[in-house]
Amino acid sequence: MTVPVHLRHDETFVLNLGPQHPATHGVLRVKLTMDGEYIVKAEPVLGYIHRMHEKLAEGGTFAQFMPNTARMDYLHALAFNHGWALVVEKAAGIEVPERAEYIRVITVELNRIASHLLWWAAFLLDLGGFTPLLYAFDDREKIVDLLERVTGSRLTYCYLRFGGVYNDIDDEFIAGTRDFIKRLRGRMPRLYHDLVTHNIILIKRIKDIGFVSAEQCRRYGATGPVARGSGIDYDIRKNEPYSVYPEFDFDVPVFDECDSMARYMVRMHEIEQSMRIIEQALDKLPAGPVMGKAPKVLKPEAGYYYSAVETARGSLGHRLVCNGDKNPYKLKLRSPTFSNLSLFGEVAEGMLLADALAFMGSLDLVIPEIDR
């Protein structure tokens, strides 16, 4: 409920939300000026987990930066792997075999489901529902196990290589993935929708709360489910296709309600769409090598390169400057959550504290990705 607040500066107080606060999922600090429980002004303060990843990229070779990409958005690490691999392949002109492209899509989409499930769990935790967290983690565990089989790690994957992937997928992985999709489809209606989505308390809590207009999204550069929840039909996988995404038949869920519920629904539908992509990719999976020909030491030609991928939180851009050396000359990341968070201050004005936190949860913030 957004209520216009008459600013009475004599009666306002400052509330420091974070950097250590259960609802900020990490070390985000929001400086709130409050009038009672109403927020008069909200200023996100960043930098508590800044690790200068962009600068670190300049210090090592191209391949040495790959593990770092996973440490930024640890929830959708493979998409960050993918983004970095794409831009370097573009710079160095490396061809990727088709099988590797399919495997990339399968693993990235599995990781996207895992990311959305974790968002769902954490969002419910923000709203005070504990049990859904464990149900979502039960499903997520299956994905993590599957990905561990092929990548060797469970959270911060370092799986993609320039020109392919680290390891081929086997029949057990394919069968396991199909089983998982079947299982999640079976559990979705009851444990996710009946228990939570249709629950009157949740609906009252997030419907018509946190109104983000399409104009605001454009002004702040918000992407991903935040923009799609505000009626903007924009998904890099469709609009600027990369990898083998054009070969799959999937929809981009768009909702016009602009509230937290719309963002919630976008993500729930995206899980289903990702499952569709994975199924098609498994059906069409071509045979062949998973690693193309790539030189051991990369020395891309001097120039500017840009490529973008769609992560679970929005579009991620890599801007790479090369000077012909074996290290990147400069790397700049356009990370989705940074833009998504920047509209928080404007939207949260006049909200109640609890509503603002529900709204913040619906933005799906991953702080290390904002600070990098």
Partner 1 sequence: METSMWRALLYLVGLLAFAGVNAAWLGWCERKGAARIQRRIGPCEAGFAGLLQPLADGLKLMSKQLLVPQGVDGIIFRVAPVLAMIPAITSLAVIPFSENIGARAMELSLLLLFALASIGMIAILLGGWASGNKYAIISAARSVSQNLAYEIPMLLTVITVVMISGSMNLREIALDQQGGFWHWNIFRLEHGHFLTMWISFIIFFICSVAETNRAPFDMAEAESELVAGFMTEYSSMGFGLFMMGEYLNIVVGACLTATLFLGGWDCPFGLTPGIWWFLLKIYVLIFTFIWIRWTYPRTQIYRLLNLSWKILIPFSMANLLVTAALIKVF
Partner 2 sequence: MSGYWSDIVTGGKSLVTGLAITAREFFRPVVTEQYPWEVPTMTPLFRGHIELIGNEETGEPNCVVCGMCQRACPSVCISLDGKKNEGGKGKVLTRYILDFTKCSLCGSCVESCNFNALRFSREYNLASFDKNDFIMDLMQRLEDQNRCKR
Binding site for partner 2 (CB under 8 A): 60, 63-68, 71, 131, 135, 138, 148-153, 156, 158, 166-167, 190-191, 194-195, 198-201
The residue (of 13 and 304) whose beta carbon lies closer to partner 1 is 13
By beta-carbon proximity to partner 2, the closer residue of 196 and 281 is 196
Query: In the complex with partner 2, which residue's Cβ is closer, 167 or 280?
Result: 167
* Residue 200: DSSP 8-state: H
Per the structure block, which two tokens stand in for 279? 């199924």
8 binds, among partner 1, partner 2, none (CB under 5 to 8 A by kind): none
For 122, the 3-state DSSP assignment is helix
Sign of the dihedral through C-alpha 72, 219, 317, 255: positive
Q: How far is the CB of 81 from partner 2 (least distance, A)?
A: 11
- 300 prior amide bond cis, ω within 30: no
Number of H helices, E strands in the chain: 15, 8
Choose the contact partner of 190 out of partner 1, partner 2, none; CB within 5 to 8 A by kind: partner 2
Query: Closest approach of Cβ 229 to partner 2, in Å?
Result: 22
Task: Tell me the CB-side half-sphere exposure of residue 178, using CA atoms within 13 A.
Answer: 9
Q: Minimum CB separation from partner 2 for residue 63, in Å?
A: 7
291 binds, among partner 1, partner 2, none (CB under 5 to 8 A by kind): none
> 77 vs 357, which CB is nearer to partner 1?
357
User: What does 153 bind: partner 2, partner 1, none (CB cut-off 5 to 8 Å by kind)?
Assistant: partner 2
Length of the chain counted residue by residue:
372
* Min separation Cβ 108 and partner 1, Å: 29
Distances 211 to 174, 216, 262 between C-alpha atoms, Å: 41, 10, 10
**What 8-state DSSP symbol labels residue 244?**
T
d(CA 89, CA 309): 14
